[in-house]
Amino acid sequence: MNHRVRDPWARVETRLGAWLAVVLVAQTGATIAQESKPAARPAPNSATEPFATAASMPRAAAFLDETALSWTRQHRCGTCHTNYPYLVARPALTEHPSPAMVEVRRFFEDRVAHWDDPEKAAKPRWDAEVVATAAALALNDAATTGQLHPLTRKALDRTWTLQKASGGFDWLKCGWPPYEHDDYYGAIVAALGAGNAPDGYAQSPAAQAGLARLRAYFAANPPPDLHHATMLLWASTRLDGLMTAEDRGATLARLRERQRPDGGWNLPSLGHWKRRDGTPNDPQAPSDGYATGLAVFVLRQAGVPASDPAIQRGVAWLRTHQRASGRWFTRSVNNDKYHYITHAGTAFAALALHQCETWNDDK
């Protein structure tokens, strides 16, 4: 039995669908011209950036637009910390529309449409590109039109052709936790994509055999850390058979235990990762946007009511720790160069506040 909360996008789908149609027509000429220009590069992610005087949806939307456009135009690739989570989270901020999401989504649709072209540059760079792109487009479809786009279906179907006999996938292992360092995360991303895809995709013949192998994979391989257990819990709210009721309850309990006295969570407490210089991450580090946003969002997805004291304390932390630029800072668990996890953290913070319907200071 699936454990679901109210559809998080029910309030925005009609408006966003109409908005997308208008923007697609209006931007045909102007956006194509703009895409040849470099996007404004956002200021570096910094722990010293001042806090905002009040939580602001428009500033969060502007920051997410800026970082996603900048990355997509400059790097011409997808990444787990920036433009993939952007496609998942940006529809939650539909009250402040922007052509940025249309452009970023079109980039990924174009990638899917040309994966089989003869040119080497058109082909998927890694299996992970196929899995992550399919999932991001599926989650975006669910949050916008509520219909499975043909290119999304094409990407999802291609995912299963890459699945290993074990049920998992060959994921990027660059030594960059929590995303690009183990195959387990790739399996979770595949589950999120299939489980959230509209039009009953998970029940389609194309998906059934792959999902059976995926369920067997998770049954044989417990999550290696609380971060992955939390992500798997999210996936399990859309797909049966990924976690037992006991494992779901244990993950919820562990998440509650890791909440800090100030109401937030921190990323180092969700894993056991060493930094690039070999030093450990501090599980008692200050609360951060990524872990707090993820925890609140997934707790809500798992059916914990917005009135729950843990949720209320987490929301209070998010509302008082947005930075002046609109982002929520998160220190990288790898090194202190760029802190790109801040981008994903801002996406989860926006999703969490949207789930709790607490955007009130739209300034």
**What residue segments make up the domains of the chain, in order of their start?**
13-355
The Cβ of residue 354 has, within 10 Å, a number of other Cβ atoms equal to: 23
Kindly report, residue by residue over 225-246, the tens digit of the pLDDT: 999 999 999 999 999 999 999 9
Mean pLDDT of 111-138: 98
Q: Is 312 exposed, middle or buried (0-12, 13-18, 19+ CB in 10 A)?
A: middle
The CA distance from 340 to 248, in Å, is 29
Tell me what pLDDT residue 9 has: 39
pLDDT (average), residues 156-164: 98
The 10 Å Cβ neighbour count of residue 280 is: 11
Tell me the pLDDT tens digit for each residue of 302-351. Answer: 999 999 999 999 999 999 999 999 999 999 999 999 999 999 999 999 99
3-state DSSP percent of the chain in helix, strand and coil, to 5? 55, 0, 45
Structure tokens at 295: 């925890």
Instruction: Tell me the mean pLDDT in the region 78-104.
Output: 94
The 10s digit of each residue's pLDDT in 266-277 is: 999 999 999 999
Give 204's contacts (C-beta < 8 A, 6+ positions apart): none
How far apart CA 291 and CA 299 sit, in angstroms, is 12
- Amino acid letter, residue 204: S
How many other CB atoms sit within 10 Å of the CB of residue 38?
Answer: 10
Q: Give the least confident one: 59-63, 91-95, 336-340.
A: 91-95
Distance between CA atoms of 37 and 233, rounded to whole angstroms? 40
**Euclidean distance between CA atoms 351 and 318, whole angstroms:** 11
Query: Please, are residues 311 and 305 in contact by the beta-carbon 8 Å criterion?
Result: yes
| Cα angle value 244/293/128 (rounded, 5°) | 65
Decide: pTM greater than 0.85.
yes
- Selected from 3.40.50.300, 1.50.10.20, 1.25.40.10, 3.30.1360.40, the CATH number assigned to the domain covering 13-355 reads 1.50.10.20
